[in-house]
Structures are given as structure tokens and as C-alpha cells.
Structure 1
Amino acid sequence: MVLRLEEPGDAGFHAIDHQGSPEPSGEYVLTNGQVDHYGDRDAVDTRHVVPIVVHFLATTDGWPGVAWQDDNAA
């Protein structure tokens, strides 16, 4: 899952995969031990992660190679 926040406390945006299922196929264990489940739609293929981060660090914009969901609107 790739999140992009505008400011502290912002719900932000996250990259989505329109081809992914809304159902989770795995779980994510955070460093504090919390276990999260996200639909496959809410996680992008690992090959996209580095280009997304590199683009953001260079421009502070979302990478155009993936779709973004505005979590402030949810």
C-alpha cells in the first residue's frame, strides 16, 4: 500500500489497482504488532513502488502510472 499525505492528520491519497479484488488476500503486520487487512485493490504491484516514491520525492506529485483514491472524500 502506498499512501500520500498532504499534511499531518490528513487522510491523504492511496495508490489503487483497478484490476485488484476488493477482498484481501493477505495481512500486513505493522511494527507495533497490529495486523491490518486491505483489499488487493488498495495495494499496487511491487514493481510500481520505487517509481512512485522516486517521482514523489522529485515532484511531490502522485505518480501518473497508477490511479489514486482521495481518502479525504471517503
Structure 2
Amino acid sequence: MIESWVFSDDTAPASPAAAIEVLRERISAGQLEAWLTSSSGRSLAFISNTERAMVVLLDGEDDPGEHAVDPGASGSSKGFVLANGQHDEYPDEDTLPLAEALQVVQHILTTGAPPPHAAWSIDR
């Protein structure tokens, strides 16, 4: 059974594609951090600075998780604004270009797993 996913504000997108549209709308509105929870209890974090995004998948509340990486990237990017107002800077190797990050999220929401071609870091 494929998991169903809802945003932390209980918005339940009708499809993975609809979830991506919600993310795009929220980014355009300046809401750069989003959390989704699955019917199996997993969480998916998406934090953007409008150009790059961090995608983190957690198996449970205390799980250190895993995240998408961009092994060829160098430098770092600022402007990752969390819901609590905190401004973060992340190494570019720990984030993806926005379009690629959205594709990774859509694949996770569709299949329950990261795309086979995506580079991934296990933080457990």
C-alpha cells in the first residue's frame, strides 16, 4: 500500500503532483519550510531558499533520518528560513537545485522512496 501524505497544517493534497503545486505556492508566498507526515508515521521535510532545497526523510520522531545530496556541489547557500524565523545556511552538497528537489519529493510521495538516481545520505 502506498502511503498517503498530509502537510503539517492538515492540508491533504489529492495527488503527489498537487502536493508539489502546494509547495510551489508556499515558496512563492515566502513559506520556505514545509513538513508532510505519512499515513505510516514517516515525515518529509522540505526547506528552501527559493533556489535550492533540503529534502529530509525521517522514519519517526526520534529518527536522525536521511537527506538528498548534491555530491558535485561546492560552497554554501543562505536564506533557508524556518517557520520559527531562524535563518539557516547549508552546504550546497546537502541541498538540491529547487526543480530537482521538487522531483525528489514527488517521487517519494508517489512511491514511498527516493528516486533510484538520487544521491542520498543516511544520517542514522
TM-score by length of 1: 0.82
Matched position secondary structure for 2:121: strand
The structure having more radius of gyration, on CA atoms, is: 2
Runs of 4+ in 1 over 3 A off after TM superposition: none
**8 Å Cα contact 1:4-1:62 kept in structure 2:** no
Corresponding pairs, count: 71
CA deviations on 1:38-62 (whole Å, 9 max, x unpaired) are 1010110111122211211121111
Structure 2: where are the runs of 5+ without partners?
A: 1-53
**Are 1:15 and 2:68 an aligned pair?**
yes
Counterpart AA for 1:10: D
- Higher RCO (Cα < 8 Å, 6 or more apart): 1
Structure with higher strand content: 2
Give the root-mean-square deviation of aligned CA atoms: 1.4
Deviation of 1:37 (Å): 1.5
Partner of residue 38 from structure 1, selected from 80, 90, 98:
90
Matched position secondary structure for 2:90: coil
**8 Å Cα contact 1:15-1:67 kept in structure 2:** yes
**Are 1:51 and 2:103 an aligned pair?**
yes
Percent same amino acid at aligned positions?
A: 38
Structure 1: where are the runs of 5+ without partners?
A: none
